[in-house]
Structure 1
Amino acid sequence: MAEVVSLPQLLGEKLYLLLPSIVALLAVVVVQRVLSSDPLKHIPDVGQELGSDEKRRQAFLMDSRKIYQQGYQKFKDGLFKIITTRSSTPVIVVAPKYLNELKKLPDDVLSFDVAIAETMHIRYTKIEPGNKSIPHAIKTSLTPALPRLNPLLTDEVRESFLLEMPPCTDWTSVNINRTLLRVVGMVSGRIFIGPELCRSEEYLDAAINYTLEVMMVRHAVDGLAPWKRPFLAGRLPAVQRLEARLKQANEFMQPVIEARKRLPADQKPDDMLQWLMESQLKFGDDNSVEKLARLQLGLSFAAIHTTTMTATNAFYNLAAYPDLIPILRDEVLTVLSEHNNEMSTPALQAMKKLDSFLKETLRFHPPATGSFSRKVLKTFTLSSGEVIPKGVVIEVPSHAIARDPEVFPNPDVFDGLRFYNLRQEAREKGEVEAAAQNQFVSVSQSSLTFGYGRHACPGRFLAANEIKMIMATALAMYDVKLEEGAEGRYPNFEFGGTSSPDPSKTLRFKRVEQ
């Protein structure tokens, strides 16, 4: 009978024969790792002194502005890499001088949509970047319609202010952020969903709270280490609240959309929901109630969140720099008297000092420390020879640029008339293009809040009109100041590369004599 040899015994006896092969294989692996070129090694790191990637990520969560500023000061005209909240893969931060060549690269090389998907954690927020219907409807229907829609928007701004503000016959404390959420919700809703529903509490509840809850999910997921997200993010209370909100909003939108689909062609409403439904059909996209409800919520998020933040920042600045109030009020009243007391497109364009004040607000209090975020889908080479490998994200340090004294003299001083003066100087020199670059809605290598290139925010023209109308209405109707005992302008909250005004603060308002 043959002796039975166990597998461990057999391996033990033959191991001495296998050892040379194993050693040789390990040596090959080690040599390959040593000799292989790190595709990012030529790009300097910022924040390495902080230690591990997780420590660097936590530092970014708490003070991204400092990290961008350090990199920009050291490598102003080049590139540097940082660890952000997305993952442990560094973000490549590039100098603004590269923007003109970067904006020419196709979407299959640099993807705006994939970068947004990562930033907004779409697995949990359910945001849908990449939909063609929304930018198409905005560019072809909404923006061209603004001149004829402005009177409706003006009426909605004034009426919603009167609805939401207390009488203010004497100095009255008002949480302006909370008020603006409802005002902006109504004004945006007037264009998005029509006059019958824009003041509906059910619509306002869905639109406003969806906006807040999306940002809560983003911040909650940002707070988790990337490797923990697949296991823990889905159980976060913020994620579960958002899922319930989506279900509720779908139930509200369903009868609205179904009723729209039954209307004859000559009775179609003139609003964004209708344009969006037609745009979906044009592109052959899903035109289901659930899909349209989700897109409508996405519009509300984009419009309500950013517009309210910018307007709140503007009110905080108005209260903190009271010398600007009579200057801006005089301009508003003068322009309105010259335009039949209507906030028409020409009237809004004539409010150049107000426009400057709002642009300075964006410069001084941008919503993010970086801009022009793109995911690299294919390796490419910059004109300077640096190779940017597939798989990384690139950004431009927009906040650091906005605080660069070589770009903006006295950058740490809030100057509400900064851009008004720049426009006037450019016009005196006959530099029409330079004057235009200093408008609130303009994008340039030094003004990147609205993005840059073909993916610059298409809704910024609506947002600009809304914010100007809100500020002009408030200036004409109210005096505003900080609360008693407040020392200077209220600081913003900064977290994970984002900045937002403190929503808990109040200002004091008083009606002015008409």
Structure 2
Amino acid sequence: MLSSTLPSALAERWLLVATSISVLACALVGPKLIDQWRLYCIPIVAAELGNTEKRRQAYLAGSRKLYNQGYKKFQDSVFRITTSRQADIVVVSPKFLPELKKLSDSIVSMAAAVDETMETKYLKIETTVPIVPHTIKTSLTPALTRLNSLLAQEINEVLAIELPSSRDWAEVDVHEFLVRTVTMVSGRLFIGPELCRTPQYIDTAINYTMDVMAAQRAVQMLRPWQRPFAASRLAQVKKLAQREKKASEFLLPIIKARQEAAKSPDYDKPDDMLEWILDAQSKFTDECSQNIAKVQLGLSFAAIHTTTLTATNALYDLVALPDFIDELREEAKKALAENEGVFTSAALQSMKKMDSFLKETLRLHPATMASFQRKVLQTFSLSNGQVIPAGVTIEVPAVSVNSDPEIFPNPDKFDPLRFYKLRETAKDSGSVEGAALNQFVSVSQNSLTFGFGRHTCPGRFFAANEIKMILVNAVLRYDFKMPDGCTERFPNIEFAHMSIPDMKKLLARKIQDDLMFF
């Protein structure tokens, strides 16, 4: 009897085990299959081009056309776009931004999107350093009112170094002059007077970003399965590590000297980011915030090249509008004269035409075609019922918003006073909010250069003041013009999601030694 029931009992047990395994497999694999199905239900832009590689090549050749095509076809919805990245990219209409910004970081994560894009796991760089946005918001931005005159003086001195002293026309490498200017001026507030003009700091601050991007591209050239084994041996990744080591070698003595000096009751505390970060360290015990050298490199990465690209685009735009230069000069002279020749916050705020001109530069020449990149960590639904599956990266087609004729009439035309006129119209109608939304630093569903929501760029106020002061100083003290034979603005170079000014030279000559207008 026992022998006859044993096989039956074993069979039942194995059936139970097999059923449990099947249930577990369904529980683990099922949601992933469902998410994959949800992803493939989202339409893909430029499907008519054929396979994935053909769409990828179209993206690399310049993604503006693809974003615009998808924006027009799926304006109230979402679409997929094939990029050069490994992640699946879902482009979301800007109409959903108010609801997207309410989602927690545990559902859609900017940090995870940046880390994935930058291959931080292999580059060993930190993109989320809590002490940085805190210090920018609580110390840097409030300090601008008292430090603007210091920045203006630094700009005045740096331009004297970087631009021709002759009153005859001379060639100027615009990008080179601006990147060095931005590096030294930013460095004055980031690292202080001890290092901001030293060759070591300038070289590191400028080239660290280049090293990061070179290492990122090198890692992405590897197949995903190769990266854990081969990434650390790449020459570009090793060079990046060496750059960080050298930066620590010249930054740490300054940091230690300040920490030692701070023990004295007579210590005259410097008024710069380095000191503010040192003061805030006790509140931020995470490893990233404690590594001041890496924090400084992160500041350089985030601020210097983005500010330089905007300033370069602006100067190219301005030189292509010679009549408008005089209009900006008159506005700047009046603003400075009313503030005793000092770049006060009031003086900068009254330069509304300059502000409008810069915002128009951002609109027509964005550094990147998309904004609001977020990694989706948990599947969620939009208000129209569409489901966005976990694992994808979402973004908003900022470039398409910028060129939407229903938002910006005659969008392909560069109108330097576009936002000035919008502000004046709003002001005349009594709309304070309408006037505010058309400022250079403003963020809205129609202005996404600086992001949107809780992770909007905190350093945009400093960048705005810096760019304005550089351009005002430049146009009041120098004449600029296009090289002989050029009558139109140099077109930008567009590759993949990027738009970069063509690094060509302009002609410049000195016309004035100082900025005293009172």
TM-score w.r.t. the length of structure 2 is 0.88
Deviations 1:227-273 (A, max 9, x none): 66556655554433322211211211121122222222552322111
Deviations 1:148-186 (A, max 9, x none): 111110100110000111214111110011011111111
Aligned partner letter, 1:510: R
Residue matched to 1:437:
437
Residue matched to 1:16:
none
Kindly tell me: are residues 424 and 345 of structure 1, through their superposed partners in 2, closer, same or farther at Cα, counting changes over 3 Å? Answer: same
Kindly tell me: are residues 457 and 196 of structure 1, through their superposed partners in 2, closer, same or farther at Cα, counting changes over 3 Å? Answer: same
Distance (whole Å) between structure 1 residues aligned to residue 176 and residue 240 of structure 2: 20
Q: C-alpha displacement at 1:93, in angstroms?
A: 0.5
Residue matched to 2:15:
none
Is residue 85–residue 222 contact of structure 1 (8 Å, CA) maintained in 2? no
Distance (whole Å) between structure 2 residues aligned to residue 175 and residue 222 of structure 1: 32
| Aligned positions of 1:476-487 closer than 5 A | 476-487=476-487
Deviations 1:23-81 (A, max 9, x none): xx9xx99xx99x96701233211132333333323322221111111101111111101
Distance (whole Å) between structure 2 residues aligned to residue 415 and residue 223 of structure 1: 41
| Aligned positions of 1:496-511 closer than 5 A | 496-503=496-503, 505-511=504-510
Q: Would you say how many aligned residue pairs link Structure 1 and Structure 2? A: 483
- Unpaired runs of 5+ residues, structure 1, are 1-20
Deviations 1:100-138 (A, max 9, x none): 010011110110111111222223444312221100011
Residue matched to 2:378:
378
Distance (whole Å) between structure 2 residues aligned to residue 199 and residue 165 of structure 1: 16
Distance (whole Å) between structure 1 residues aligned to residue 406 and residue 219 of structure 2: 37
Aligned partner letter, 1:484: D
Distance (whole Å) between structure 1 residues aligned to residue 65 and residue 299 of structure 2: 32
Partner SS for 2:507: strand
Percentage identity across paired residues of the two chains: 55
Q: 1:255 aligns with which of 253, 263, 270?
A: 253
- Unpaired runs of 5+ residues, structure 2, are 1-17, 514-518
Deviations 1:440-472 (A, max 9, x none): 000010110000011000000100010000011
Is residue 61–residue 85 contact of structure 1 (8 Å, CA) maintained in 2? yes
Q: C-alpha displacement at 1:494, in angstroms?
A: 2.1
Aligned partner letter, 1:483: P
Mean CA deviation greater in 241-250 or 365-374: 241-250
Q: C-alpha displacement at 1:324, in angstroms?
A: 1.3
| Aligned positions of 1:453-464 closer than 5 A | 453-464=453-464
Kindly tell me: are residues 220 and 368 of structure 1, through their superposed partners in 2, closer, same or farther at Cα, counting changes over 3 Å? Answer: farther
Distance (whole Å) between structure 2 residues aligned to residue 269 and residue 391 of structure 1: 45
Residue matched to 1:197:
195
Residue matched to 2:145:
147
Distance (whole Å) between structure 2 residues aligned to residue 410 and residue 109 of structure 1: 38
Kindly tell me: are residues 392 and 150 of structure 1, through their superposed partners in 2, closer, same or farther at Cα, counting changes over 3 Å? Answer: same
Is residue 419–residue 438 contact of structure 2 (8 Å, CA) maintained in 1? yes
Aligned partner letter, 1:277: L
Q: C-alpha displacement at 1:277, in angstroms?
A: 2.4
Q: 1:123 aligns with which of 121, 124, 127?
A: 121
Kindly tell me: are residues 388 and 331 of structure 1, through their superposed partners in 2, closer, same or farther at Cα, counting changes over 3 Å? Answer: same
Aligned partner letter, 2:141: T
Residue matched to 2:281:
280
Is residue 280–residue 286 contact of structure 1 (8 Å, CA) maintained in 2? no
Partner SS for 1:360: helix
Matched, 1:316 2:312: no
Is residue 280–residue 287 contact of structure 1 (8 Å, CA) maintained in 2? no
Residue matched to 2:354:
354
Partner SS for 2:254: helix
Residue matched to 1:90:
88
| Aligned positions of 1:390-401 closer than 5 A | 390-401=390-401
Deviations 1:457-510 (A, max 9, x none): 00001000100000110111111111112352112222231222123x101111
Is residue 196–residue 202 contact of structure 2 (8 Å, CA) maintained in 1? yes
Distance (whole Å) between structure 2 residues aligned to residue 395 and residue 307 of structure 1: 22
Kindly tell me: are residues 318 and 127 of structure 1, through their superposed partners in 2, closer, same or farther at Cα, counting changes over 3 Å? Answer: farther
Aligned partner letter, 2:413: V
Aligned partner letter, 2:358: L
Distance (whole Å) between structure 2 residues aligned to residue 224 and residue 425 of structure 1: 54
* Aligned-CA RMSD value: 2.3
Distance (whole Å) between structure 1 residues aligned to residue 230 and residue 369 of structure 2: 27
Aligned partner letter, 1:167: S
Distance (whole Å) between structure 2 residues aligned to residue 224 and residue 463 of structure 1: 36
Distance (whole Å) between structure 2 residues aligned to residue 279 and residue 164 of structure 1: 35
Distance (whole Å) between structure 2 residues aligned to residue 287 and residue 373 of structure 1: 22
Distance (whole Å) between structure 1 residues aligned to residue 288 and residue 282 of structure 2: 7
Kindly tell me: are residues 147 and 452 of structure 1, through their superposed partners in 2, closer, same or farther at Cα, counting changes over 3 Å? Answer: same
Residue matched to 2:8:
none
Which ranges of 4 or more aligned residues in structure 1 deviate by more than 6 Å?
A: none
Matched, 1:213 2:214: no
Distance (whole Å) between structure 2 residues aligned to residue 221 and residue 422 of structure 1: 45
Residue matched to 2:169:
171
Is residue 214–residue 242 contact of structure 1 (8 Å, CA) maintained in 2? yes
Is residue 130–residue 289 contact of structure 2 (8 Å, CA) maintained in 1? no
Deviations 1:401-455 (A, max 9, x none): 1001011001001111111111111111111101100000000101100000110
Q: C-alpha displacement at 1:286, in angstroms?
A: 2.8
Is residue 490–residue 502 contact of structure 1 (8 Å, CA) maintained in 2? yes
Is residue 214–residue 236 contact of structure 2 (8 Å, CA) maintained in 1? yes
Is residue 117–residue 127 contact of structure 1 (8 Å, CA) maintained in 2? no
Distance (whole Å) between structure 2 residues aligned to residue 423 and residue 321 of structure 1: 22
Is residue 171–residue 508 contact of structure 2 (8 Å, CA) maintained in 1? yes
Aligned partner letter, 1:310: T
Mean CA deviation greater in 210-219 or 297-306: 210-219
Distance (whole Å) between structure 2 residues aligned to residue 212 and residue 452 of structure 1: 26
Distance (whole Å) between structure 2 residues aligned to residue 454 and residue 500 of structure 1: 27
Aligned partner letter, 1:364: L
Is residue 222–residue 496 contact of structure 1 (8 Å, CA) maintained in 2? no
Distance (whole Å) between structure 2 residues aligned to residue 381 and residue 288 of structure 1: 35
Distance (whole Å) between structure 1 residues aligned to residue 482 and residue 508 of structure 2: 9
Distance (whole Å) between structure 2 residues aligned to residue 161 and residue 292 of structure 1: 29
Partner SS for 1:394: strand
Mean CA deviation greater in 173-182 or 45-54: 45-54
Distance (whole Å) between structure 2 residues aligned to residue 429 and residue 323 of structure 1: 30
Residue matched to 1:67:
66
Is residue 170–residue 510 contact of structure 1 (8 Å, CA) maintained in 2? yes
Residue matched to 1:135:
133
